[in-house]
Structure 1
Amino acid sequence: MVSAIGQPISRVLLSDQVYARVRGLIVSGDLKPGERLVESEIARQLTVSQAPVREAVKRLVHEGLAQHVPRRGSFVATVSQDDAASARAVRVVIEELAARTLAERADPAALADLDAQVEAMREAAAEGDVGRFRDADITFHRIVCEAGGNPFLPKVWAVMEPSLRGLRVVSDPTFTGDWAEMAEQHAGLLDALRTADPQLAGEKFAAHARGEIPGA
C-alpha cells in the first residue's frame, strides 16, 4: 500500500472522493498490479469509515481496475499475457468495424467530440497527467464505437470496456515513451476518419488495436 494516499478529505460524497483518490493511484501506477487494497488502511489514511471505502472498491472492481478474491480481499487488477492477447484480438475486430462505419457517416458532431479527446490527451501529456490521458484515450475509442450507427457496437464496447481499462492501466504502468507522441497518433486516427475512406480508417484503427502503432 502506498504510504501516504493524501490529506484527509471532506465528508461530502465520501465514496466518490475515495473512489477518485484510489482510482488515481491505480491509473498512475502508484498502486501496482496485484497490490492489495486494504479497506481499513485506506479508511485510516483518509480518516473516513470503511463503508465509503467499501463502495469505492466495489466500483473499481466493476470498472475492471481491481479484482475481488473471496476470503482474501480486493487487489489491483493483474492481466495475464493470454488475457491481453485475447482482448486485443477482439478489439481489433470491433474497432476496425467501428472506424469503417463512422468514416462512412462522417458525423461532424462525433468528429468534434473526438477532436476534444485528442486535445485532452495533448493537455494531459503536457501536464504529465497519466490518469487524465488514459481516460481521454479510452473515451476516444468509446466514441468511435458509439457514433458509427451500428447499435450493437456500443453494447459490445460496454461489455469490453472494464477489461480494456484494466489492460490499459495495469499492463503499461511503467510506460516510458512519449505521451505527446501517443496523442498525435490519435490525431492521425482522427485524420483517417475525416478522409471518409472506410477502408483506410478501418486499416488504421485495426493496426492501432493490434499494437502496430507505438503506444497503442
Structure 2
Amino acid sequence: MASTIGQPLTRVLLSDQVYARVRALIISGELEPGDRLVESEIARQLKVSQAPVREAVKRLVHEGLAQHAPRRGSFVAKVSPDDASAARAVRLVIEELAARTVAERTAAVQPSAEAWDALREQVEAMREAAAEGNVGRFRDADISFHRAVCEASGNPFLPKVWAVMEPSLRALRVVSDPLFTGDWAAMAEQHAGLLAALESAGPEAAAAQFAAHARGDIPGH
C-alpha cells in the first residue's frame, strides 16, 4: 500500500521538474512563439518517459504559455498584434483601478503591512534578478508585483479578473516585453517608483502612473 501511494508522487515531482525546465525556456525566449513542443523529443533530451512531459505540457497550456491544436500537437503560445493590443487595453483598466483603490486605502491606513511587504518583496526580487541577468525570474517577479497590487486593493473582484487575464499576459509578454533590450535594473527601479506612487502620490496620480506603465509610456514597461 505504501509503495502504491509513493509512485504517483514520484511521477508528479518529475512532471514538476519538466514543467519548470520547459517553462523557463519559454519565459526566457529561448523557445519562441510558434515553436512546437514535441513531447517525444523533450522526453529524449531530459531522459524521462513521455508521461511526465505530457503532464508538464498540459500545465503550460492551462497557464497560457502554450497552445494545443488537435492532431497537430502543442506549440509555444503565438498571438496576433490585435490580441496584444486588446490585452493591453484590458490590463490598463485593471491596473488603473487597482492603483487608485490602493492609494485611496493608503489614506485610511490600509492595506495591511503584509500587503506592502508582498509588493516590496517583488521589487527586491526584480532588482536581484536584474543583477543576476535572470530574465525569467524578473518576469515572474514583474507579474507577481502587479498581481499583488490587485490583491492589495481590497476589491475581491480585481484579483479574480487579474487571474483570468494573467495567462494571456504571460503569453502575450505584455507585462515584460521580450524585445526589451534596455537596462533591467532601471526597469526594476521603475517598479519601485510605482510602489512609491501607491504609498504617497495620491489616488489620481497613482492611477495615472500605472496607466502610463500599462500603455508602455514608461520605458521598459
Using structure 1 for the length normalisation, give the TM-score: 0.92
Tell me the SS of whatever aligns to 2:180: coil
Q: 1:201 aligns with which of 183, 203, 206?
A: 206
State the Cα deviation string for residues 157-184 of structure 1 (Å, max 9, x = none).
0100000011117983343111111101
**Preserved CA contact (<8 Å) 2:139 2:175:** no
Q: What pairs up with 1:132-211 in 2 under 5 angstroms?
A: 132-168=137-173, 172-195=177-200, 197-211=202-216
State the distance in 1 between where 2:178 and 2:142 align. 15
Gaps of 5+ in 1: 1-9
**Preserved CA contact (<8 Å) 1:29 1:170:** no
Bigger mean CA offset, 103-112 vs 33-42: 103-112
**Preserved CA contact (<8 Å) 1:117 1:137:** yes
Q: Provide the residue aligned with 2:63 in structure 1.
A: 63
**Preserved CA contact (<8 Å) 1:78 1:170:** no
Percent identity, please.
Answer: 80
State the distance in 2 between where 1:151 and 1:14 align. 35
Q: Provide the residue aligned with 1:38 in structure 2.
A: 38
Runs of 4+ in 1 over 4 A off after TM superposition: none
State the Cα deviation string for residues 104-138 of structure 1 (Å, max 9, x = none).
12223222211110010000001000000000000
Tell me the SS of whatever aligns to 1:48: coil
Q: Provide the residue aligned with 2:15 in structure 1.
A: 15
**Preserved CA contact (<8 Å) 2:139 2:176:** no
Q: Provide the residue aligned with 1:111 in structure 2.
A: 116
State the Cα deviation string for residues 44-101 of structure 1 (Å, max 9, x = none).
0111110100010011111111111111000011121100000000111110000011
Gaps of 5+ in 2: 1-9
User: CA 1:202/1:144 → structure 2, altered by over 3 Å: closer, same or farther?
Assistant: same
Q: Provide the residue aligned with 2:4 in structure 1.
A: none
Q: What pairs up with 1:80-91 in 2 under 5 angstroms?
A: 80-91=80-91
User: CA 1:76/1:110 → structure 2, altered by over 3 Å: closer, same or farther?
Assistant: same
User: CA 1:152/1:190 → structure 2, altered by over 3 Å: closer, same or farther?
Assistant: same
Tell me the SS of whatever aligns to 1:13: helix
User: CA 1:21/1:78 → structure 2, altered by over 3 Å: closer, same or farther?
Assistant: same
State the distance in 2 between where 1:63 and 1:56 align. 11
Query: What one-letter code is carried by the residue in structure 1 that aligns with 2:125?
Result: A
Query: What one-letter code is carried by the residue in structure 2 that aligns with 1:189?
Result: L
State the Cα deviation string for residues 19-54 of structure 1 (Å, max 9, x = none).
000000111111111000000000001111101000
Q: Provide the residue aligned with 1:4 in structure 2.
A: none
State the distance in 1 between where 2:12 and 2:62 align. 22
**Preserved CA contact (<8 Å) 1:29 1:174:** no
The answer to whether the aligner puts 1:130 opposite 2:130 as a matched pair is no
Q: Provide the residue aligned with 1:3 in structure 2.
A: none
Tell me the SS of whatever aligns to 1:23: helix
| Number of residue pairs aligned between Structure 1 and Structure 2 | 207
**Preserved CA contact (<8 Å) 1:117 1:140:** yes
